[in-house]
Structure 1
């Protein structure tokens, strides 16, 4: 365990790339882009044949069919342990309620000035593909549920098959509980290629969401760059930052850091604390982990670091977590107080666990209802309303040499109507 004594001045002296190197953070997706591009383009040209080929090559499975049939769905629902099924439904109910509360008015219009009424119409995206890593039923709940709440017409789920060619029954159960329309036994970059460009079996979608490995992420970035479809955001190794003072329980802090490292060897966990005693206790409990503990002078220094680092998960375990929260601008999901571990949000609080990593929370939000919606501006003008802005619109149109734009306004006030 590394305990570092840092100051705001020292951190401010580091360039962003130095910060990333300091934490071995981020994945160089460009290193995987060529392979992902070739896979996507092969799927685009060869369709289902490419999916069978890549599934055999990468997953070592000879598939008979790509889509999960009704018999397999019914069998999975029978095979899932009753207690697990009950808990999947509990988690789903919380996720459903949280995302329902995000929904605003589908149409609003207000008169902003005399004769000019403006508004916005919100509609769901027509089709969405959700990618679920193998044996992650929670990700099925997190991706399908908000899409269903949004009113997406077609929700297609892809997930890698197991060695026997089947899908984990818990993923199937979660997908059906959440409302997926179709489920496919395809993983990796080839699944992204199928959703983005379409095959004989898998229809092309408008947007792809969900977590995946570096090849999945590289493929998502590629299909977006080519205009094949939209994506949610790039996602890399999981990460947590915990900011804590002397009121925090060292055992709980260490447990949360260890939980984050359970994802994979590239996961990042960081503790920022004003308490040397807490830092030393947590360090002893971490047993040589590669996580980092920073001893800071003030919580304000910690807030500065958080906003610079922009973590996927942020736990605030201080006497007054709301005062720290007030200063936070960059984080994927925030957990307040000692009884709010990240693991709770990963599964059952109802918030979404599909979140931006590697600093992307500076510019991206986590998955939400909004991820599955688009908006259209609406305007309605009376004669008086158009007259009020006529001169401004005509002047700007002529400034840009669009005389016909100007004429389309002027004509309404000349001659017979």
Structure 2
């Protein structure tokens, strides 16, 4: 069902570890041309292109591309009480945890009358994409909207694919989550076309261009983000989900297997990786996987994901090597199920979100941990972070010098501008003191 990679007895460098990490055979660039054509069609043909793409890709043309406000009100009223309570609790927890991500403004006084202020200022408008393929993601509405709201973004638009099952409307649970958060600008647009619409706007439906686009999606959504990057900011080019578990002999194999399956059910390309120094645990997890994977609702999808080249059980000589392997992989989700998780954590540098101990599964982070589940995939956690309030904030420096403070450094500005052969720079300073 799942391959075994045995690295015991080998001393590998970081680059050698990176070469043996299991990865899905996906490449965003293969969808780039198609995504670019879809985006360009939306940019030039607007609503006509969106309706054509909905018919081709979603199998239904929405009556209202911009969701009427009354549909959102209806969706909130129609939420299952248990789902509504869970969403409301998730909103509270994500708000509390996200509040810690907003830096305070700071003033630095360099001399009398010479002050530099560091402030964090929100972008004006964001577009949040919520996918609607193999699963429904009201939790992603929460994870996208809450950080934008706490950052102080004044204008928020959500896009989610029209659903055949609901007559071309966006999924009612998605609409209900948006309503709970007070977002009333929602569009029934999916895929690469949605990214193009958010980036360039669609005048016929009152969709104004946004400054930043966030949210997960399929390979065409990721490719479309690459196409519009530079016109707008993006969070990341999210790929298939992934979980890497670092575990030792103290771990419960049934917990490990359940967590691997929980992420494998997302998609056939989902990655599920266990790295352990315990052959006995590895054998026990294989047994547990056989039973757990075959009994879950999406057993066929899970089996494909676990059997793929992106999933593996990796045997290593020590937990220190396991941590080094994890750093080379740069997982979206990292679970640490060892006898001393905090000690293991000290060797971890690269991960989107880290879950410590047997009772902190990734599923907790997907919904109610308070952390954000929009995270970098495909090794991008080595250089980028998950979604947060900071995604929608820009650090800006505000400079305030009075006459005396500028005069005190004028000669040095002139010296440097002369050294760089940019004399007008210095002259812009001395002009203030010529009279």
TM-score range, shorter chain: over 0.9
* 2:156 equivalent in structure 1: 155
1:122 maps to which residue?
120
2:252 aligned partner: 249
Give the secondary-structure state (helix, strand or coil) at the position aligned to 1:401: coil
Query: Among residues 133, 147, 164, which one is paired with 2:131 in the alignment?
Result: 133
Work out whether 1:312 is the aligned partner of 2:332: yes
CA distance in 1, matches of 2:154, 2:9: 50
Q: Which runs of 5+ in 2 are unaligned?
A: 291-302
Shift of 1:92: 0.9
- Which SS does the other structure have where 2:127 is aligned? strand
What CA deviation, in whole Å up to 9, does each residue of 1:187-206 have, x standing for no partner?
A: 01111110001112121111
Following superposition, the deviation at residue 38 of structure 1 comes to 0.5
- Residue 161 of structure 1 contacts residue 185 of structure 1 at CA under 8 Å; is this kept in 2? yes
Q: Distance in 2 between matches of 1:29 and 1:385?
A: 52
Among candidates 353, 357, 369, match of residue 349 of structure 1: 369
Moved more, 202-211 or 269-278: 269-278
Deviations 1:68-98 (A, max 9, x none): 1122112212221111111110111101111
Structure 1 unmatched runs, 5+: none
Structural mapping, 1:1-400, within 5 Å: 1-7=2-8, 9-12=10-13, 18-19=19-20, 23-25=22-24, 27-105=26-104, 107-113=105-111, 115-134=113-132, 135-163=136-164, 164-199=167-202, 200-201=204-205, 202-224=207-229, 227-287=230-290, 289-290=306-307, 291-400=311-420
Q: Tell me the SS of whatever aligns to 2:396.
A: strand
How far residue 114 of structure 1 moved from its aligned partner, in angstroms, is: 5.3
1:386 Cα deviation after fit: 3.1
Distance 1:71 1:81 in 2: 18
TM-score, length-scaled by structure 1? 0.93
Give, in whole Å, the separation in 2 of the partners of 1:345 and 1:383. 53
CA distance in 2, matches of 1:75, 1:302: 50
Cα distance in 1 for partners of 2:368, 2:15 equals 38
Q: In structure 1, the residue corresponding to 2:374 is in which secondary structure?
A: coil
Offset of residue 116 of structure 1: 3.0
Distance 1:89 1:7, change over 3 A: same
Distance 1:293 1:384 in 2: 67
TM-score where L is the length of structure 2: 0.90
Task: Provide the C-alpha distance between the structure 1 equivalents of 2:161 and 2:96, rounded to a whole number of angstroms.
Answer: 29
1:322-346 alpha-carbon deviations (Å, 9 max, x no partner): 1221221110000011100000000
Q: Distance in 2 between matches of 1:406 and 1:250?
A: 69
TM-align CA RMSD: 1.9
Give the number of aligned pairs.
Answer: 410
Shift of residue 10, structure 1, vs aligned partner: 4.8
